Each structure stands twice: as structure tokens, then as C-alpha cells.
Amino acid sequence: MLTEDAIKEALKAVKYPGYSRDIVSFGLVKQIAASNGAVSVSMQLTSANADAARQIKDEAERVLKTLPEVSHVHVEVKQPASAAATPGGPSPGLQQNRMPGVKHVVAVASGKGGVGKSTVSVNLACALQQLGARVGLLDCDIYGPSIPLMMGTKERPTLSEQEKMIPPERHGVKLMSIGFLIGDDQPVIWRGPMIQRTIQQFFTQVEWGELDFLLVDLPPGTGDAQLTLCQTVPLDGGVIVTTPQEASLGVVRKGISMFEKVNVPILGIVENMSYFTAPNGDRVEIFGHGGGRAEAERQKIPFLGEVPIFTEIREGGDLGIPVTVAAPKKPAGKVFLAVAAALREKLP
């Protein structure tokens, strides 16, 4: 039987032109009706881009005609009255704009705290830079910013002639964090709307320049920061950081589900704290081992690699010189370089 849910599911294959998200997750599909093999769909765009409307209509009709039981399709796409006059108009309903000059925006996320997500973020950023990429790192953990410490700088951003913030640079990586704008011991006691506004400004009011990768270090969970990010810029993908034990993996599944619901592809899972090698050479699996790889196989998403427990990783974060910078040819540094290379293959 041809149901509204089946039609909506089919329409998820239609992407908004130039974006990674589909028209359903954008909320553009307003009405669906089906009767005796005839399907009618009504959409409402806030964009005045006539070319985009035409592409969406054509693609929606094509997708719906492939459904069994469908004999007739009618797709109506409504736009502002100025649509015909402005073929290069703005983005769809969530004000999601691709960042000029930034090739790939990648979110680094975890379902829970304490898995070393920020440690992975800074080392991944520095590793990509060492592999020849132009890299920016945005700290979206408003309540607990740690990027300034881990990257070893407290430099405040300066303002350009256009009154946009120029991000400080450290280890060849451009950086932005709320930690650059407040005192060391000053807590951030904000409600959701202030967090949303700040994160949006980090994208729209910062001169990131030309970047191959902008990594976004997200706070744990699936709250305001995550939703604001997904609604502000078209993400090219997400990287999930986990530790091996089931307590971490269980929450990771929620993070994966969140990205799937907003149509952000999962680029891969990184298993952190995989094991520890004792001074006598014994391998100690403190948190178990292999859970990240097994979860990646279960979810049918890439596994980017495992990061063992190295003292040098912790020391690098405390000193503000990530191990990927301090000792790229030692085992700890090589691990992150391998993960960065695997990620770069996903987004050439």
C-alpha cells in the first residue's frame, strides 16, 4: 500500500542542490496525498532560487515515478514571488549556507564525555595540516572549551576591516573557541538561544579564509550545539569518537542516529584508548578492545582506526603541543597521521 511515510522516505533521496541534506530534513515538504496510484506533493521553499526549484521538482518527480503502484505524479514547488528574478538566491529554510573558501566541514562528535574527543580533534587537525591540507579547528564546546589549552594559545582574535574576527593560528591550524573570548576561570552560564547565536557567529563572523578542512569539535551529546551546527552549515560528514566499552558505544549509537536524522553522512568511527602497553611489553586492554571496530561493522560505516593509550598524548595536550606536532614519527604521532589519511580518503 502506498503510504505517506513511504512517499516521504522516497523523497529523502532528493538533495537540495549544492547541499548534503535532503528536502525532507530541510522541512520543505509540506503536504503529501496519494490515491489510486496518483501522488501529489506540495513543497514550500524560502529560497528565491528558481533553478534550485526546478531541479528539486524534476528530481522529486523522477524518484516518485520509480515507486511501485504509482501511475501519476504531481509535484508543486512554491517560492517567494521574486524567485524568477533571482536565480542565484539564498539557501533553503534553515539558513544553511556553504562557507565561502571552505572545502569540507567535518564534525567530530561523541555520545558521551570523557572519551577523548577533543584530544582526537586537535591531533587530527594537526595531522591533516602535516599531510598538506589547509585546516581550521572550531571549538563548539561552549561550556567546557579545551582547544585553547590543548593547542597552547590564549591569543584573542583580532578584527578585520569588515569587523569580522580573524582566528588565531597555532601549529599551522586556524583556531576559534569561546575560550579565546572569556577569562580562564570565567564560567559560561548561558541558555540555549545564546549558545545557538554564538555558534552561528563562529561561522558567519569569522574570516576562515581558504581551507581544505574545517573540523568542528562538538560537545558531548545531541543538544543545542549539535542541532545549531547541522542547521547552520551543510556538513560534509561526521566523525564519531568512542572508547571500546559498551557504556560508551551505547551512547555513540544515539550520536549516529542524530546525524542520520539530519542526513549528515558518517565518515567513520575512531576508537580511542584502545589499549595500554605496559613497560614490560604487556598489552593491557583497560576498557576492553575492538568495540569501535565491531560497532562500525554493525552500523556498516567506515572504521578510521584505533588510538592506544600513550603518555605522550596526554602530555602533549597538557603542554599545548599535540603529539602529532611534537613527535609525528613516534608511534603515538603515527596513529593520528594514519587516522587523518583515512579521513582524507573519504573527502578528497
Question: Has residue 203 got a pLDDT over 80?
Answer: yes
**Measured between alpha carbons, how far is 272 from 340 in angstroms, rounded to an integer?**
14
Domain locations along the chain: 4-85, 102-346
- The per-residue pLDDT for range 2-35, each reduced to its tens digit, is 888 899 999 999 988 766 678 887 788 999 998 8
Question: Has residue 48 got a pLDDT over 80?
Answer: no
Mean pLDDT, range 296-315, rounded to an integer: 92
- The pLDDT value given to residue 189: 67
Lowest mean pLDDT among 30-44, 170-184, 277-291, 299-313: 277-291
Let me know: does 164 contact 201? Beta carbons within 8 Å.
Answer: no
Q: Which CATH architecture has domain 102-346?
A: 3-Layer(aba) Sandwich (3.40)
- The per-residue pLDDT for range 227-239, each reduced to its tens digit, is 677 767 778 899 9
DSSP element (H, E) containing 74: strand 72-78
Tell me the average pLDDT of the chain: 85
**Measured between alpha carbons, how far is 152 from 323 in angstroms, rounded to an integer?**
12
**Measured between alpha carbons, how far is 105 from 233 in angstroms, rounded to an integer?**
8
Mean pLDDT, range 37-54, rounded to an integer: 84
Grouping H, G, I as helix, E, B as strand and the rest as coil, residue 335 is helix
- Strand-by-strand arrangement of the 29-35 sheet: 29-35, 38-44, 72-78
Q: Which of 160-185 are b and which e, b meaning 16 or more Cβ less than 10 Å from the residue's Cβ?
A: eeeebbebbebbebbbbbbbbeeeee
- The per-residue pLDDT for range 308-337, each reduced to its tens digit, is 999 999 999 999 999 999 999 999 999 999
Question: Has residue 191 got a pLDDT over 70?
Answer: no
CA angle 89, 92, 94 (to 5 degrees): 130
- The per-residue pLDDT for range 68-96, each reduced to its tens digit, is 888 899 999 988 654 333 333 334 444 45
Mean pLDDT, range 276-300, rounded to an integer: 86
Lowest mean pLDDT among 101-105, 186-190, 263-267, 331-335: 186-190
Q: Is 59 left (phi over 0), alpha (psi -120 to 50) or beta?
A: alpha
The runs of H, that is alpha helices, within 170-284 are 192-204, 224-232, 246-261
- The pLDDT value given to residue 44: 87
Question: Has residue 155 got a pLDDT over 60?
Answer: yes
Q: What is the dihedral of CA 325, 326, 332, 334, to 10 degrees?
A: 50
- The pLDDT value given to residue 147: 94
Give the best-scoring range by mean pLDDT among 37-46, 50-59, 125-134, 252-261: 125-134
**Measured between alpha carbons, how far is 61 from 23 in angstroms, rounded to an integer?**
13
Question: Comparing 37 with 324, which gets the higher pLDDT?
Answer: 324
CA angle 275, 277, 278 (to 5 degrees): 130
Let me know: does 290 contact 249? Beta carbons within 8 Å.
Answer: no
**Measured between alpha carbons, how far is 195 from 156 in angstroms, rounded to an integer?**
19
- The pLDDT value given to residue 330: 94
- The pLDDT value given to residue 129: 97
Question: Has residue 342 got a pLDDT over 90?
Answer: yes
pTM listed for this prediction? 0.71
- The pLDDT value given to residue 36: 86
Mean pLDDT, range 94-111, rounded to an integer: 80
The percentage of residues in the chain with a pLDDT greater than 90, rounded to a whole number, is 45
Question: Has residue 200 got a pLDDT over 60?
Answer: yes
Mean pLDDT, range 31-50, rounded to an integer: 85
DSSP state of 98: P
- The pLDDT value given to residue 94: 43
**Measured between alpha carbons, how far is 334 from 332 in angstroms, rounded to an integer?**
6
Question: Has residue 266 got a pLDDT over 80?
Answer: yes
- Under CATH, domain 4-85 is a member of which superfamily? Fe-S cluster assembly (FSCA) (3.30.300.130)
Give the best-scoring range by mean pLDDT among 25-29, 140-144, 270-274: 270-274
